[in-house]
Structure 1
Amino acid sequence: MIDFYKNVKSFMKIGTVHTDNNVFKLHYKVTVILIATFSVLLTSKQYFGEPIDCDVEQRKEVIDTYCWINGTFILDDTLINYRTPGFGPAKKQSTDVNRQTYYQWVCIVFALQAVLFYLPRYLWKVCEGGRLKQLVGEFGGPLTSDKWNHAAKDKLVRNILHDTYAHKVYTIRYCFCEILNFANVVTNIYLMDWFINGQFSTYGIAHATYDIINPMNRIFPKMAKCTYYKYGPSGDIQWLDALCILPLNVLNQKVFLILWYWLFILLIISFFCILYRAVFMFVPIFRIYLLRAQARKLEGKKAKFIVKKLSYGDFFVLYRVGKNVNQNVYREIVLSVYDYLAARGTTYKHFVQDL
């Protein structure tokens, strides 16, 4: 457990250059660590012992293994009728059997979820290729570097403005990864819904609004039945009803509830992030407000001129540079961009050709 948290600490380490935003980090840092923590807890016998313990007098180890592999069940009709929910002498023809066959797969599914949530980050790292780090160089960080001078500023500005097409591709790839993050959350909600028999998508709402039957006891019962079959000496089938205790479901009840709230919160945040990106891409006046907010005390006419002359790709790169350098340094960069654009005429294309 200690080694796990050491790995988490190294994973949470914040780099010097930020190539993505905080919403992106919620997906590949917070969510991955949350799911990995759940997986470690569910696989730790140190805290919860054996995953299943059936109350039988004969062939206990065999029956425990059989019930773990083949699953258990409870009787829906008895959830509110008896002191021990899920059990009782209800008639089979009038009782719906609710089976639980997913216990042994929870950790594997969590591992798959962690991979899915890290996938957009991996794709973005491959597509980004360290471009922003090369661009910012040693000038990243909250402090002004001693090597920051006119020549360094001139070189940085030229690098920002020299390749419009590459910057457009860079921006489109980033937007695609943000859309992939949103699609990933939706996919994981459907995955978990399928995994626990269509009961995950409404799990949090059902728990918050239940009156009599707690959905936790129905989806993750702490005690359940298991029917074990074997052949007797004469060849007849003999069956044995076993009462099984499922200690892990004490944790599963809470883990899946936390996961439900987190995924839906992340879904809402990711949706608004996509809306923000769409406005960023297609509404120039919004970019003007962003530039003035990022480069403080920048005159409105200068901000409007820069946004008008820069493509959305060039502006995105310029904006990402502003997230990684000192505020005073960034203001100097923006003013230099304005001077270059103003000095090279009214067409940005002509300016780039002269560089």
Structure 2
Amino acid sequence: MIDFYQSLRTLLRLEKIHADNNVFKLHYKVTVVLLLGFSILLTSKQYFGEPINCHIGKTDISKDFIDTFCWISGTFTLKKTINSKNLPGLGNPFDAKDSEIYRHFYYQWVSIAFGIQAIFFYVPKFLWKTWEAGRLRLLIGDLGGPLISDQWTSARKDTFVKYLVNGDCAHNIYMCRYCICEFLNFLNVCFQIYFMDWFISGHFSSFGLAYASYKDVNPMDIFFPKKAKCTYRNFGPSGSDEEHDFLCILPLNVLNEKLFLVLWYWLFILLAISSLCLLYRSLFLFAPKFRVYLLRAQCRKLEKKKAMLIVKKFTYGDFFILYKIGKNVDPTIYNEIVASIYAHFTMKGSCKNFPRDDEV
């Protein structure tokens, strides 16, 4: 297992060229590593032993058989005894109505569910990696380091400028694909919360709040019982029905309750951050003044009117590429690129309708 955790470090490896942002990385790096780590931890019998252990009492039924039967068929706790100090959730199930019973079927699938969730969180990254196809890496090349490369020449600078000012709206498609992936990240978080809510019978969405505010009954004892019951029905020697009631211990739920609590907080934090990211992207797309602010934040000595001109002449896709370049190259190189773009527009006579402060 230690070797596996060392292999997960590759997902957290720092990249030289960043074609996405930090919020995107929270989805496909941090969350994927978190979920895969949970999944592997739950399957490590060397630390937590068998996932279920049932007490069969005086019976001729095999204990291994009952353990396996109760593992695959699920267990349950009784609502009417959940507040009991002596063996809470246990009691006689045969005279209880179905609505008075908490049934637990999720625990067989927790590690698999975490693994599937990890795949879903990586899908938007896979799409973006496929669509992006290393374009930014090819464009920036060896200019992504902290030092100015010897390869940075006037010819290289002219190539940058020509590429950016002659995009012919192709960069709009590039950015639209990125926006689709960001929106998929947001939808995926919403779906995962809904999926977890269904997975543990409608209790996940309020799990963290219920745990933070409980006074008498710990919700973890309801959703993740450590002691539960299992009923086995069989035929007796004369063909009559026989019902056997067994007490089962679920040691993995000691760990499950902590993992689900961490996951609850993380998914809702991630949902809030992703919502803010969509708001930021909306301003980026539909508010030119916001793009002027972003450009001047990257080029702190850039005059406002120059920034306004560049934003006016660039499509949102062209500006997106320019902004990504600014996130990956040395500030000195980026300032030269921006200055050359401004010079290109002025030399072409494109600034005769120079924007006023209230036009952008």
TM-score category (smaller protein): over 0.9
1:268 is matched with which residue? Answer: 272
1:300 is matched with which residue? Answer: 304
SS, match of residue 147 in structure 1: coil
Farther-moved stretch of structure 1 (72-81 vs 89-98): 89-98
Q: Tell whether the 8 Å contact from 2:77 to 2:101 is kept in structure 1 after alignment.
A: yes
Counterpart residue type for residue 38 of structure 2: F
Q: Tell whether the 8 Å contact from 1:136 to 1:156 is kept in structure 2 after alignment.
A: no
The correspondence for 2:130, drawn from 126, 131, 140, is 126
Give the drift of 1:89. Answer: 4.9
Q: Tell whether the 8 Å contact from 1:204 to 1:261 is kept in structure 2 after alignment.
A: yes
Report the TM-score, using the length of structure 1 for normalisation.
Answer: 0.95
Counterpart residue type for residue 180 of structure 1: L
1:352 is matched with which residue? Answer: none
2:358 is matched with which residue? Answer: none
2:153 equivalent to 1:169: no
1:67 is matched with which residue? Answer: 70
1:248 is matched with which residue? Answer: 252
2:86 is matched with which residue? Answer: 83
1:216-235, CA deviations, whole angstroms, 9 ceiling, x for partnerless residues?
Answer: 00000001000111111111
Q: Tell whether the 8 Å contact from 1:309 to 1:347 is kept in structure 2 after alignment.
A: no
2:349 equivalent to 1:345: yes
CA RMSD of aligned residues (A): 1.5
Report the TM-score, using the length of structure 2 for normalisation.
Answer: 0.94
2:26 equivalent to 1:26: yes
Q: Tell whether the 8 Å contact from 2:74 to 2:104 is kept in structure 1 after alignment.
A: yes
The correspondence for 1:237, drawn from 229, 234, 241, is 241
Give the drift of 1:81. Answer: 2.6
1:139 to 1:53, Cα distance in 2 relative to 1, 3 A: same
SS, match of residue 142 in structure 1: coil
In the alignment, structure 2 segments of 5+ residues that lack a partner are 353-360
1:9 is matched with which residue? Answer: 9
SS, match of residue 17 in structure 2: coil
SS, match of residue 201 in structure 1: coil
Q: Tell whether the 8 Å contact from 1:123 to 1:177 is kept in structure 2 after alignment.
A: yes
2:40 is matched with which residue? Answer: 40
Tell me the distance in 1 between the aligned counterparts of 2:262 and 2:108.
Answer: 20
Q: Tell whether the 8 Å contact from 1:135 to 1:159 is kept in structure 2 after alignment.
A: no
1:330 is matched with which residue? Answer: 334
Tell me the distance in 1 between the aligned counterparts of 2:141 and 2:330.
Answer: 13
Tell me the distance in 1 between the aligned counterparts of 2:122 and 2:48.
Answer: 29
Tell me the distance in 1 between the aligned counterparts of 2:98 and 2:198.
Answer: 26
Give the drift of 1:119. Answer: 0.3
Tell me the distance in 1 between the aligned counterparts of 2:305 and 2:292.
Answer: 9
Give 1:116-155 correspondences, 5 Å limit: 116-155=120-159
1:56 is matched with which residue? Answer: 56
1:113-150, CA deviations, whole angstroms, 9 ceiling, x for partnerless residues?
Answer: 00100000000011101111111111112221111111
Tell me the distance in 2 between the aligned counterparts of 1:191 and 1:89.
Answer: 32
Tell me the distance in 1 between the aligned counterparts of 2:85 and 2:280.
Answer: 53
Tell me the distance in 2 between the aligned counterparts of 1:294 and 1:136.
Answer: 17
The correspondence for 2:112, drawn from 100, 108, 112, is 108
Farther-moved stretch of structure 1 (231-240 vs 263-272): 231-240
Counterpart residue type for residue 65 of structure 1: T
Tell me the distance in 1 between the aligned counterparts of 2:282 and 2:220.
Answer: 40
Give the drift of 1:50. Answer: 0.2
Give the drift of 1:93. Answer: 4.5
Aligned length: 348
Counterpart residue type for residue 103 of structure 1: Y
Tell me the distance in 1 between the aligned counterparts of 2:203 and 2:136.
Answer: 44
Tell me the distance in 1 between the aligned counterparts of 2:281 and 2:339.
Answer: 25
2:313 equivalent to 1:309: yes
